[in-house]
């Protein structure tokens, strides 16, 4: 794997900015975030994999944003990107994130996570067609004491 190209770096800078923007800001609207994804895409994680339609993602995104805000999520910041060009149309990127929670302002909690994305390049734009979260974010929140532990 190599460092990210300019187009990939720009894509993830815009993606990071979109997910960190407040819900009232047009940059953080579900539509802007969803525009980074293909009309249908594969989402996978420790619990399994599923095909997601963008319209369903748009419906679920506000609830997801609200939930993570209620447990103190204040930002998601990309620490590094590793890119592997698969062919002329697809690129695989492993992104390393720091997610910051502030349940109590004087004691922020930062967790390291990572995800692998397959991006489809169409001319000068990229769209996520596959996302693999390497951690279960709900379990991470539980482990950090942000949610009650499951019995």
Q: Where are the domains of the chain?
A: 2-143
pLDDT tens-place string over residues 48-78: 999 999 999 999 988 988 898 889 999 999 9
Q: Per residue in 80-102, pLDDT tens?
A: 999 999 999 999 999 999 999 99
Report, at the CATH architecture level, how domain 2-143 is classified.
Roll (3.10)
Q: What is the pLDDT of residue 118?
A: 98
pTM: 0.89
Question: Is the pLDDT assigned to residue 23 strictly greater than 50?
Answer: no
Q: What percent of the chain has pLDDT over 90?
A: 60
Residue 106 has what pLDDT? Answer: 75
Q: How far is CA 12 from CA 18, 48, 50, 94, 117, in A?
A: 10, 24, 23, 11, 11
């Amino acid at each position: 794997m190599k460092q990210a190209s300019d187009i990939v770096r720009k894509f993830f800078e815009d993606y990071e900015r979109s997910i960190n923007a407040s819900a009232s800001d047009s940059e953080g609207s579900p539509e802007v975030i969803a525009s980074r994804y293909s009309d249908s895409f594969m989402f996978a994680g420790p619990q399994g994999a599923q095909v997601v339609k963008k319209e369903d993602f748009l419906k679920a995104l506000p609830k997801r944003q609200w939930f993570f805000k209620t447990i103190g999520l204040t930002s998601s910041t990309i620490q590094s990107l590793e890119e592997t060009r698969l062919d002329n149309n697809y690129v695989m990127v492993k992104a390393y994130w720091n997610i910051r929670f502030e349940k109590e302002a004087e004691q922020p909690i930062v967790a390291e996570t990572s995800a692998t994305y397959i991006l489809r390049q169409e001319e000068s734009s990229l769209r996520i067609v596959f996302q693999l979260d390497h951690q279960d974010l709900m379990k991470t929140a539980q482990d950090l004491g942000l949610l009650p532990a499951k019995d």
